[in-house]
Structure 1
Amino acid sequence: MQKIEDYIHTRKLKDKLDEFDFSKRSENMGKIINYVSEYFNNYLTPEDFSEEILKLQQNLEKSRKRLEEDYPTSHLFIEQFYMKHQKRIDTFIGKVVQNSVETPLCYRLSDYMAIAVEEYTKRWNEGPDRSSMKELDPVIVKWIMDAYHEYGVNLLDFAYGYMSEWEKKYTETTYSRDIKESYLINHYDYQYQDNPFDINQWYEQHKDRPFIEGKKYFLEMLLMYIWLFEILDDSSYWGEYTQLMIKQRKLPLKNEKRRLIPVAISGISYPEEIENTIEYIETKDGKVKQLQAQKYILAIINEKQTDNFWTNQVKRKDIIQNLKETFKLYGMPKLLELRTPMKNAAMGIQELISIYYELLHELKNYKTVNIAIRTQSSKSSKEPLIYSMNDIMKLYNTIKEMKIDLKIMLDMVDTIRTV
């Protein structure tokens, strides 16, 4: 249902009325009076108006819950605007945000067109996905995560959006009838470039942002990472490129690679070509009788469910004292492993953390000790405290929130039994 000014405008267009044609002034005045009369007598009736309002309210009610979630402080304005103009500005805001490559970098109020845009952006910004950065150097990952935690910006999402434009411009998908597969053809020369992906121009325009300033080559590496690993699916240039960034750009990269390190465990034999220089030792009391290798991992196993490191304070003190003697004899282990306690009314995550702090205090003179809690993948008569994925995430979030250096070891024992 139109408001009176909209109704008059519609009729003017239909009748091609020109109010500035003074030769038809009297005629035009009569038509305008007729428009107003028709509007109130024929177009705007109480029945039609009530029905129209009811429809608008019903439409609004269907989406009210989502509006309150997406726009917690501005949803009332959006609702009032809809009732008055019959236009959903939240839909417009969503399209603007989704179609802007630089939306993930908004962090100042001046970056947003309105408070509603800010609310929409924060609602759908879930943070960078660590699983998408497996091959990125830890220094780059830390920069991305720090920017998110401090400014609420998602550099990873921005990089994906930025590189999607290059993908559209420089790549094409072709189908080969010979091999009956589709493959990607790249038309962009990205190797050994001083200004790959026009990074220089973009950086000059955005270097005033605190999370971008001085991080030009960090951003370049992030863009190159997505180009190679996600778009081209060809990482052959990545190793050489990383070394170039370290040597030529002087980037302080750790250049670490995740790798599995075999450890010597009693009863397990490796092929001759596999070299293992770390010994894995289990102890109930913290003592080590003999060490075969210079490096070792020491695991404190729970002797009994009701009489062990976690539940018996006297025994815990004895174990800690024995650990000190072991460290004096053989040096610090690469890792001190603690098995998860059993879950009961007196033992939860907070109690586990308290005992961890107690252990840290007792070993305060051994500042290089690394401590880990090992999960348990199978149940016995009692349920382990750290057993399910929910248990693991609860412990992980507690560690993260309290900012403590406690590691989590996943027990990957195969519990499948063949019949």
Structure 2
Amino acid sequence: MTLEEYIVKRKREDGINEYDLEKRSENTRICVNYIFEYFNNYLDLKPADEKTVLHEQKVDKYRHIVREYNSEVREWLVSIYSSYGKYMHKQLMNLITDNYFLLYDSEAEFRALSYDIYPKAIKRFKFLDGQSEMVFLFVKEAHRIRNSFYPYDSDFYISDSVNEWIFDTYNKHGVNVYNFCYEWAHYFF
């Protein structure tokens, strides 16, 4: 509770009427005592509690970082971060080295890639052992996120027919040709 909420709660419990002018000095003393109680008793955090609060803040920040992933993958990544302190979305993304990853459009391709990176992942991170299905789901989500159209893409224009083909390809196959070409050009640069 915030300080204000604590004071309101205590006033209700003690039945204090702050508009009673006859008890003004007594009410002032009682309310000042509420403030001391709040800081000395209610907020008495032990060092272990402070670490827990800091840890939860870090976990919430990480949850915000991976907010684009679907809920299942996001909570898996957050639980790994909470337990091991690893930014697994970056670690696993670094294991995806196929230059044609953004052109994948079938479950079989995603599954084959997850089978390829899973042994590398458990070699570096033993705690991923037995989590091949989550690695597969991560690969699919990573593809979806890296292939999404961002606001800067909407101003990109080649010609009506090419732009229509790019959007049709994305809608049919989930493949963003624009992002693939951008990354391919960046690779050669």
TM over 0.5: no
Which protein is bigger by CA-based radius of gyration?
A: 1
Q: TM-score, normalised on structure 2?
A: 0.31
Task: Give 1 or 2: higher strand fraction.
Answer: 1
Task: Give 1 or 2: higher helix fraction.
Answer: 2
